[in-house]
Every structure is written in C-alpha cells, then in structure tokens.
Structure 1
Amino acid sequence: MRWIKLENAVNVRDLGGLPAGDGVTRTGRLVRSDNLQDLSPADVTRLVEEIGVTTVIDLRSSGEVRSEGPAPLQAVTSVEHLHLSLIPEVGAMTDVAKDALAVNRERVLKRSPDDVAGAFYIGYLDDRPESVVGALRAVAEAPGTALVHCAAGKDRTGVVVAMALTAVGVPREEVVADYVATGERIELILDRLRSSPTYAKDIDNVPAHEHDPRPEIMSRFLARLDEEHGGVLAWLADHGFTTSDVDRLKAKLLDA
C-alpha cells in the first residue's frame, strides 16, 4: 500500500501498483485522501511539487464546503478544484452520519435492510450519477495527478475509486482490499473529524464499529451493481460514460 505521509491528513494513498489486466496501475496518476482542510505548507508542497497533483475532486456536500471554508490547496493556482457532491444538496448534511448518506433513509432501509452501508453506496449512484461520471472524467482528463477526497476518504471516495479501478480492469479482490486499507487509519481519521465542528457531532452518533470499512460492504456494493445494472461498465455506459471515456481512463491510469 503506497501511503503518502502528510502532517495534517492521515488517509492519503497512491493507487499505483495494482494489477489490472496484463499490467498494473501507474503511480502518480490517482490519489485518494481524507479531508484536505488542515494541510500544512509542507503538505501542500509535497502534494503539488513531489506528487504532482493538478486536479482535486472534492466529493463533499456544499454544506460541508461552506462550513469548513477554503482549504490550503485552493490557494495554489496550478491546481484545479472540482466540487462534485455525491449526496443531494439538502441542508448541511455530511456522510459521517448514516442519515446523511441519502435523502430518504426509509427508502434505503426498505431496499436493503441487511446491507445498509451498501445500500447507501448505491444511493450515491442513484442520487448523483452526474457527479460520479464527472469525477471519473476529471480523473481521466487531469494533466497530472488527480486527487479524490471527501471527509474521511472512506465512503464517497471509496465508491468513486472503486468505480474507477473496476472500470480499468483492477480485480475485485484488489478493489476491496484498497477499500479495507482505510481501516488501518480509522482511529486517526475519526480523531481528525472529531476536531472539526462540522463533523464532531456526527462521529459519535453511531457505534464506533459502523465506521469500519468492512470488506463485505464494498463486495456487496459491487455485487449489487452486477445484479441490478450489469456491472460497473454497464452502469457507466447507461449514464453517458462512453467507450472513449473508458479508453481515456485506462490511458491515464494504466501502464502501456
């Protein structure tokens, strides 16, 4: 696991080196992260000058963005920032609390009472398909390294990264293993979020174990995409992500 050590973000890793077809994913093309709000000057320098970040894809809600205020990377003119919320823009919801993962919790519970987290992940795709597709296009089109983040870097980021990796041929077990890797940093992530008024209340509104990125959550999410939509590529195609888009994503993320 290619962890990127920063002073003031704890769930940052490069998604290079994963098997995909006959090759591997390329280092320095796609990075996933938790909230970038507290980056130090040294963190900014490392991300921009060493890692090569040129595009930040922020999956947080507008309420979170307003509450947290500008992040240090936003002052860097060479970095493009795209805000692509994965949850409906209602109030100041965050996805740290389960209620914030979809507008209609009752609908989600009825749809999948035994797999609440996975149903919420499907909810991202149902509620904001344009943001999911836009995020993958932004990754493909980034002139340098694309960095995808939300608050914890687990749920919303996990879904977008899983879609991207699956689309370019990374095996499912590797996609699930990448999702689970966030568990290595979960206590550090929760401590960071507790320090923010935006997220502090939500953190302890659910049992601690519900924050864990368990493998069955991602496995069930991907299985549901297979069962209900014919898989990741079929879902993307149904929402305007063309074969050419897939080819561009592969060209971006994979070794030739």
Structure 2
Amino acid sequence: MSEASTARKLQLDGVHNIRDLGGLLRDDRRTTRRGRAYRACGMDGLSAAGEAALLRTGVDHVIDLRSPAEVAAIPGPFHTHPGRREVSLFEGLAPLAQCLRQAPQAGLANRYILALKQAPAQFARVFRLIAQPGDRPVLFHCTAGKDRTGLIAALLLALNQVEYEQIVQDYAATATLGADLLARLRARALLRGDEPALVEQALRSDAATMAQVLTWIDSHHGSVAGYLSATGLDADSLDRLARML
C-alpha cells in the first residue's frame, strides 16, 4: 500500500475505509481533483462526530450499492438523507459462494466480470447518478467498500485517465486500510457457518484481480468508456464523468 492511499483515507471516528479519489496520478502526469468523489464502506459504525465531519466535506449525494436485504439489516447513517439513492449493483447475480465454488481459480475477478456482463443496466444507472451532481461531491458505498465500490471506483478512475497501476493499487489498499472492518466481516461470516476458505477468498482485494478486470474491459469493449456506452449511458453523462476528477 502506498503512502498516497493512506493520505487519501478520511480519518473519521468509528468507521474504516472511506477515502477520497483525489490525488491519484493521471496519464498526463497531473493528479485527480480532491473533494469530488469518495468511496466508502457501509459506515454502520460512524459516530455522530464522524458523520458531522463527513458532511463537512460537502457530500450530499450518496449512492448505496447494497441489496435491499443489506440495507434493511443495517440502514447506515445516510438512510434518511434526502440525497441518498439506492442501486443494488449485484442484483440478479448468483450468490458469491456459488460463483467462487464454480470457478475457484478465477476468484473475484470472475465475479466482477460476470457483474459487468449480467448487470449493465445497474452500472449505467450508477454512473448516471454520479454524473448528476455537478459541483456537489458524491459518495458511493457498499458494505465492505471493496467489491461493488471497488468496481465503480475503478471505472470512474479509468474514465478520468488515471494510470492503471494507480487504479489497481487503490483497489488493493482496502486490505490494509479496511483491515479492522474486514476482520469484523470475517467474524460474522464464520459465526454464520460460512466455509472458512470461501470467506478468506471473498475478503481478498489483490491488485491482480482488478488488473484482470480492466484487461477484460479493454479486450471486449476497447475502454471503460466503450463498456459504459454499450450499457446505454449517454455521451453527455460520459463527458461529465470524464471531467469529474
């Protein structure tokens, strides 16, 4: 994990793995703008002081990528916020454990690629929502802030010409920056009786996983912009997204 990843993490009381997508190196050697987009976990441990600090960043546009069942179980601090929108990004996909059992060598990369292929409408909706705020900062999150959030972050960064090495390292940073949260999720899963080997695989965030996903997008769609165009995302939204950071 780079020092840059640590520097982008928001130090908020009671929560882990919320970070700014600013400060990452682009292909033109400039860096992405800070304070425009934040990636986050479920934030269920966020204290009142932490929530106030997060709101002081100017975030008032929140996209919740979790399933309805996850939201019902742990609503989170933004559940009643007027700027919150829900998009169940992995809606309709086979359960994660089933996916991992069927293709153990492919692991999470296979899961992400299946999501890109099977849920294009959800991806299009998320990026339409991200493109809407104008100058308002946006925050998107799931439960761990790793898989669904990691995919959306990777695509948004790629649209903004961030170097692929930077993108995959941002994905991998969750293993360290979100270690405490991942430990809690591991304990919950094991208590439910989930298979230990599958739990460990599900909680990984190896750089090679996101590198494989980006390679698949480029080989099948030419670029992230090509993929999102294929989902039906309009050119105006793509242009705004490409200039966002």
Q: The TM-score by the shorter chain falls in which range?
A: 0.7 to 0.9
Alignment partner of 1:206: what SS? helix
CA distance in 1, matches of 2:195, 2:46: 21
CA distance in 2, matches of 1:237, 1:211: 31
Alignment partner of 1:73: what SS? coil
Partner residue in 1 for 2:181: 189
The CA deviation string for residues 178-233 of structure 1, in whole angstroms up to 9 with x for no partner, is 11111113431223335768x96358462535522111101111111122222311
Q: Choose from 228, 236, 242 the match for 1:244.
A: 236
Structure 1: state its 5+ residue gaps. Answer: none
Q: Choose from 69, 75, 90 the match for 1:87.
A: 90
CA distance in 2, matches of 1:250, 1:155: 22
Does the CA-based 8 Å contact 1:60-1:85 persist in structure 2? yes
CA distance in 2, matches of 1:234, 1:41: 41
- CA positional deviation for 1:239: 1.1
CA distance in 2, matches of 1:203, 1:137: 37
The CA deviation string for residues 100-122 of structure 1, in whole angstroms up to 9 with x for no partner, is x69xx74xx3xxx6322111001
Partner residue in 2 for 1:32: 39
Q: Choose from 57, 74, 79 the match for 1:74.
A: 79
Does the CA-based 8 Å contact 2:123-2:231 persist in structure 1? no
CA distance in 1, matches of 2:116, 2:12: 31
CA distance in 2, matches of 1:200, 1:129: 34
CA distance in 1, matches of 2:138, 2:188: 25
Alignment partner of 1:165: what SS? helix
Partner residue in 2 for 1:173: 165
Q: More deviation in 127-136 or 188-197?
A: 188-197
Partner residue in 1 for 2:26: 20
The CA deviation string for residues 18-76 of structure 1, in whole angstroms up to 9 with x for no partner, is 12243321111110111122321111111112x111111111111111222x3222344
Q: Which amino acid aligns with 2:41?
A: D
Q: More deviation in 168-177 or 199-208?
A: 199-208
Alpha-carbon spacing, 1:89–1:244, altered in 2? closer, same or farther (3 Å) = same
Partner residue in 1 for 2:50: 43
What is the TM-score of this pair, normalised by structure 1? 0.82
Does the CA-based 8 Å contact 1:19-1:25 persist in structure 2? yes
Partner residue in 1 for 2:141: 149
**Among the aligned pairs, what percent are the same residue?**
33
Q: Which amino acid aligns with 1:98?
A: A
Partner residue in 1 for 2:67: 61
Matches within 5 A, 1:93-112: 97-99=96-98, 106=102, 109=103
Partner residue in 1 for 2:107: 116
Runs of 4+ in 1 over 3 A off after TM superposition: 194-197, 202-205
Alignment partner of 2:227: what SS? helix
Alpha-carbon spacing, 1:27–1:184, altered in 2? closer, same or farther (3 Å) = same
What is the TM-score of this pair, normalised by structure 2? 0.85
Q: Choose from 96, 108, 118 the match for 1:127.
A: 118
Q: More deviation in 30-39 or 152-161?
A: 30-39
Alpha-carbon spacing, 1:41–1:165, altered in 2? closer, same or farther (3 Å) = same
